[in-house]
Amino acid sequence: MKSVFCLPSANGKGEIKIERILDEAEYGDTCGLYAKVTIPAGSALGYHEHHGEGESYFILSGSGEYNDNGTTRMVKPGDSTWTPSGSGHGLDNVKGTEDIVFMALIVKA
């Protein structure tokens, strides 16, 4: 069951759009989120930490500055990231001219 919602970006700037691919009942005990996420140009998904779960991003379109536990790098379509439990990340599109769209998967530890 697919659900779509927009919310203010925690610790970031602007809003992000989250399109859940599956709902919580469908992924059971091993998955916390499986979604297509859009960060509009001029917005940022703020730095946040994961505890008891890890998260992977797969960039579909757009590019931006990825904060990997304090180390920043540019990400572009085809790039993937992994943030294990106990680490943090964020994705900045404040200077971007197009939306960043990526798949997000949270796996419970």
pLDDT in tens, 24-44: 777 777 888 899 999 999 999
Q: Enter the pTM of the model.
A: 0.88
DSSP annotation of 98: S
Domains present along the chain, CATH in parentheses? 3-108 (2.60.120.10)
pLDDT in tens, 41-94: 999 999 999 999 999 999 999 999 999 999 999 999 999 999 999 999 999 998
Spell out the SS3 assignment of 19-58.
Answer: EECCCHHHHCCCEEEEEEEEECCCCEEEEEECCCEEEEEE
